[in-house]
Amino acid sequence: MRIAMIGTGYVGLVSGACFSEFGVTVTCVDKDVSKIDRLNRGEIPIYEPGLDKLVENNAKAGRLFFTTDLKAAVAEADAVFIAVGTPSRRGDGHADLSYVYAAAKEIAEALDGHTVVVTKSTVPVGTGREVEKIIRETRPNADFDIVSNPEFLREGSAIGDFMRPDRVVIGARTERAREVMRALYRPLYLIETPIVFTSVETSELIKYAANTFLAAKITFINEIADLCEKLGADVHDVAKGIGLDGRIGKKFLHPGPGYGGSCFPKDTLALVRTAQEAGAPLRIIETVVDINDKRKRAMADKVIAACGGSVAGKTLAILGVTFKPNTDDMRDSPSLDIIPALQQAGASLRAFDPEGMHEAEKLLPGVVWCDTAYETMGGADALVIITEWNQFRALDLKRVKTLLKAPILVDLRNIYEPEMMANAGFQYTCVGRVSLPAAE
Ligand code: UDX
């Protein structure tokens, strides 16, 4: 089997590398010459654990190629995956499909022999049909089938998610297309992964329904956390107590500063718009979007309250700015709202992130970037954890205390235990758990 992967962004690169690990010959295509040059030199443009080794091994084995030549890659492929970006369009929240449609046109011109054209990018319901129309109009005699095959990869654990998924969703119209997709995912049949075959439209909707459901689940536990603070209850115990009910499930019940990243914010907005236009508004998701937006400002207020009601003239040490750990991705990270709100309230900020600072420097002006976690703390009035990188879970608390002016720690990811922090003499604030007074 041979495939072409159009777009070497996050989804395209991970999916291409993983398919080559399955034994498929994969050609990854991108218009960006310098990116392709870098990939051909073995440099990986994104941070994803394990991806560099996977690319290196499969490139060496002659199963993974990088090129700017879309025509040649498509002509020899049994299946072509569209994995280009679908950013939120400015103004209306709809996904911007111009890259998908441009790719469809180029693919149409290059098709040779029967080919399955698969959309992997997250696209609104109806996009597959539109892709089919574009190809048909460009090449009326082309022999092709369209398929929707959404990805459910989480950044930071994308390779494991691809190799051992909970399920694979495939929307196809013909048996011939289903056969090609079965062949591509053959190794997953061996580990008995459920493969859900549906229509193209249903498959497109499954992706949005999954992501918006998870965003709602996070938002639910975030609101329960706020309620816990008022009632003196513990949100971790609530999450455990409800999550053990198999109908609810344990995952995605961790409270925090609100969801971010490249998927949930964009996909919730896009589905809200689609539903409104279809005359079947998703009021629950409209509310989720609104609550999550406001939550980030509320987190800045939480920090200000922990600092005695004002941060004017104070210095804050910030640990973690990416939207979650194990990624360098800053897209829609809660830090992008929390940090400017603290600056506006008069605070000076010193920050450290293991992988995100290169990107963050451009997005968060006025922050002093430090080389280590401890360097942020020297003379700071308080310490704030925004992202739960593993290395922040085991800080030398004695050292932290001697570095900070006052032992104030605001932990927006609940990576420490209130009791342990009180015993260590910290004035500790977290999310949805009772904070105990610091021991003398
Ligand atoms: C998500 C989906 O999980 C994945 O299936 C889809 O393909 C792409 O979008 P990703 O954005 O990489 O993946 O990250 P994820 O781990 O899902 O986290 C998203 C956001 O929710 C992060 O900001 C994270 O911190 C937050 N989150 C997640 C919580 O606040 N609490 C949780 O319990 C889980």
Question: Which region holds residue 274: left if phi is over 0, alpha if psi is between -120 and 50, else beta?
Answer: alpha
State the pairing for strand pair 168-172/144-148: antiparallel
Whether residue 362 has pLDDT greater than 90? yes
Q: Would you say 146 and 128 are in contact if contact means Cβ atoms under 8 Å apart?
A: yes
Q: Would you say 66 and 45 are in contact if contact means Cβ atoms under 8 Å apart?
A: no
165 within ligand 1 shell (Cβ under 6 A): no
Task: Measure 259 CA to ligand 1 centroid, in angstroms.
Answer: 7
Please enumerate in sequence order all residues whose Cβ is within 8 A of that of 149, keeping only pairs 6 or more positions apart, or say none.
81, 118, 119, 120, 168, 169, 170, 171, 181, 203
Q: What stretches of 242-327 adopt beta strand conformation (E)?
A: 315-319
Task: Measure 263 CA to ligand 1 centroid, in angstroms.
Answer: 8
- pLDDT tens digits for 108-136? 999 999 999 999 988 999 999 999 999 99
**Based on the number of CB atoms within 10 Å of its own CB, is 440 exposed (0-12), middle (13-18) or buried (19 or more)?**
exposed
Average of pLDDT values for 316-335?
96
- pLDDT tens digits for 61-110? 999 999 999 999 999 999 999 999 988 777 777 779 999 999 999 999 99
Please enumerate in sequence order all residues whose Cβ is within 8 A of that of 57, keeping only pairs 6 or more positions apart, or say none.
21
- Which amino acid is it at 336? L
Q: Is 331 annotated as a binding residue?
A: yes
Task: Measure 234 CA to ligand 1 centroid, in angstroms.
Answer: 22
Ligand 1 atom index nearest CA of 150: 7
Task: Measure 32 CA to ligand 1 centroid, in angstroms.
Answer: 28
253 within ligand 1 shell (Cβ under 6 A): yes
Q: What is the pLDDT of residue 9?
A: 93
Q: What is the mean pLDDT of the chain?
A: 96
Q: What is the pLDDT of residue 301?
A: 98
Task: Measure 340 CA to ligand 1 centroid, in angstroms.
Answer: 23
CA pair distance 343, 338, nearest whole angstrom:
9
| End-to-end CA, the chain | 68
Q: What is the pLDDT of residue 87?
A: 83
Q: Which domains does the chain have, with CATH numbers?
A: 2-198 (3.40.50.720), 203-440 (3.40.50.720)
Average of pLDDT values for 15-40?
97
The region of weakest confidence among 153-167, 331-345, 426-440 is: 426-440
Q: Is 93 annotated as a binding residue?
A: no
- Residue whose Cα lies nearest atom 14 of ligand 1: it is 154
How much of the chain, in percent, has pLDDT values that exceed 90?
94
Ligand 1 atom index nearest CA of 153: 7
Take residue 144 and report the two structure tokens written for it.
């092709």
Q: Is 71 annotated as a binding residue?
A: no
439 falls in which pLDDT band (50, 70, 90)? confident
Q: What is the pLDDT of residue 435?
A: 78
369 within ligand 1 shell (Cβ under 6 A): no
The CA angle 371-51-96, to the nearest 5 degrees, is: 90
Q: Is 252 annotated as a binding residue?
A: yes
144 within ligand 1 shell (Cβ under 6 A): no
Indicate which residues carry an active-site annotation.
Answer: 263
Q: What is the pLDDT of residue 227?
A: 98
Residue for token digits 């560099």?
A: 52
| Among 218, 392, 415, residue to substitute to test ligand 1 (most atoms within 8 Å of Cβ) | 218
- Which amino acid is it at 175? E
State the pairing for strand pair 368-369/348-352: parallel
239 within ligand 1 shell (Cβ under 6 A): no
Q: What is the pLDDT of residue 299?
A: 98
**Stated pTM of the model:** 0.93
Q: Is 154 annotated as a binding residue?
A: yes
257 within ligand 1 shell (Cβ under 6 A): no
Average of pLDDT values for 288-314?
98
Take residue 59 and report the two structure tokens written for it.
């490139």
Task: Measure 311 CA to ligand 1 centroid, in angstroms.
Answer: 30
151 within ligand 1 shell (Cβ under 6 A): yes
- pLDDT tens digits for 377-412? 999 999 999 999 999 999 999 999 999 999 999 999
How much of the chain, in percent, has pLDDT values that exceed 70?
100
Q: Would you say 8 and 36 are in contact if contact means Cβ atoms under 8 Å apart?
A: yes
Closest CA to 296 of 234, 219, 352, 357: 219
- Residue whose Cα lies nearest atom 17 of ligand 1: it is 154
- pLDDT tens digits for 223-270? 999 999 999 999 999 999 999 999 999 999 999 999 999 899 999 999
Closest CA to 24 of 251, 178, 185, 217: 185
- Residue whose Cα lies nearest atom 1 of ligand 1: it is 154
Closest CA to 115 of 140, 88, 146: 146
Take residue 332 and report the two structure tokens written for it.
């829609």
Q: Is 266 annotated as a binding residue?
A: yes
- pLDDT tens digits for 170-202? 999 999 999 999 999 999 999 999 999 999 999
- Residue whose Cα lies nearest atom 21 of ligand 1: it is 259
- pLDDT tens digits for 265-285? 999 999 999 999 999 999 999
Q: What is the pLDDT of residue 206?
A: 97
Average of pLDDT values for 33-45?
96
Take residue 257 and report the two structure tokens written for it.
């500063």
